[in-house]
Amino acid sequence: MSAVPFTLRLAEPGDWPLYRAVRLRALQDAPDAFGSSYAAEAGRADAQWAERVAAARSSGFDRLVLAVQDGTVCGLVWCKRSAAEPARADLFQMWVDPAARGLGIGAALLDDVLAWAAQAGAERVCLGVTTTNSAALRLYVRHGFRAAGPTALLREGADLRVQPMALQLDVGCAG
């Protein structure tokens, strides 16, 4: 397989339309992978999308990363350090466009936010993954995540289950 170039970049406040577009595509492509739904997110006003991205960029607690291939955003991940529990970071909204899967973009997105979390002082990164999402489960296990408790319902009214997972970071080696 030949390498297909892609880049990762932090979302800037002016990127909210790109973020909105990729987030809505993710929710349409993989509705069973997220706690939120397309209907809930599509109804947000532009100002809410803009505020979400601006707040992430300025907070010091968030890292919203976009993957770009051939000028198109093809993936995203969001990692947020807990203000109440500074040693913890939560990973969510991880998604790669189906046309870009298998190229290492998911691993690169994950590597980016894990390095950021360790550098920011987090000792543990937590996430939830739908138990039927075998590709995501394999990716997280390859990166060292382990089950961290019993499964729970994805959202009210859903039959799907989410497996909480956690990764202990070696912050002594971050940098």
Runs of H (alpha helix) within the chain: 16-29, 38-42, 46-59, 105-119, 134-142
Tens place of pLDDT per residue across the chain (175 aa): 446 699 999 999 999 999 999 999 999 999 989 989 999 999 999 999 999 999 999 999 999 999 999 999 999 999 999 989 989 999 999 999 999 999 999 999 999 999 999 999 999 999 999 999 999 999 999 999 999 999 998 888 778 899 999 999 975 544 4
Q: Which residues contact 169 (CB under 8 A, 6 or more apart)?
A: 114, 117, 118, 122, 123, 124, 125
The reported pTM is 0.91
Domains of the chain: 7-173 (3.40.630.30)
